[in-house]
Amino acid sequence: MKKSIFILLILAIWGSCFAAEWKLVWSDEFDSDGLPDSTKWDYEVGYIRNNEKQYYTEKRAENARVENGNLIIEAIKEEYENYHYTSASLHTKNTANWTYGRVEVRAKLPTGKGTWPAIWMLGANISEVGWPTCGEIDIMENVGYDPSHVSFNIHTQAYNHTKGTNKGTTVTVNKPWENYYTYAIEWFEDRIDFYLNNGKVFTFRNEYKTYKEWPYDDPEYLILNLAIGGSWGGQQGIDDSIFPQKYYIDYVRVYQDTAATTGIKKKVNEPRLGLLRNYPNPFNPTTTIVFDVPQQQDIRLQVVNVAGQEVASDMLPDVAAGEQRYPFNAAHLPGGVYFCRLQFADGSALVNKMVVVK
Q: Give me the active site residues, please.
A: 136, 141
What sign for the dihedral angle of Cα 215, 106, 87, 233? positive
How far apart, in whole angstroms, are the C-alpha atoms of residue 261 and residue 152?
26
What sign for the dihedral angle of Cα 46, 48, 53, 59? negative
3-state secondary structure of 129: helix
Q: What is the 3-state secondary structure (H, E, C) of 69-104?
A: CEEEEEEEEEEECCEEEEECEEECCCCCCECCEEEE
How far apart, in whole angstroms, are the C-alpha atoms of residue 121 and residue 256?
16
| Type of residue numbered 348 | S
Cis amide bond preceding 282, omega within 30: yes
How far apart, in whole angstroms, are the C-alpha atoms of residue 193 and residue 224?
19
| Type of residue numbered 299 | I
How far apart, in whole angstroms, are the C-alpha atoms of residue 117 and residue 54?
12
| Type of residue numbered 272 | R
Strands 101-108 and 89-91: unpaired
37 alpha carbon, distance to own chain's centre: 25
CB distance 83 to 69 below 8 Å = no
Residue among 41, 255, 218, 195 at smallest CA distance from 135? 218
CB distance 17 to 198 below 8 Å = no
Residue 209 carries which DSSP code? S
3-state secondary structure of 128: helix
Facing residues of 67 across strands?
A: 70
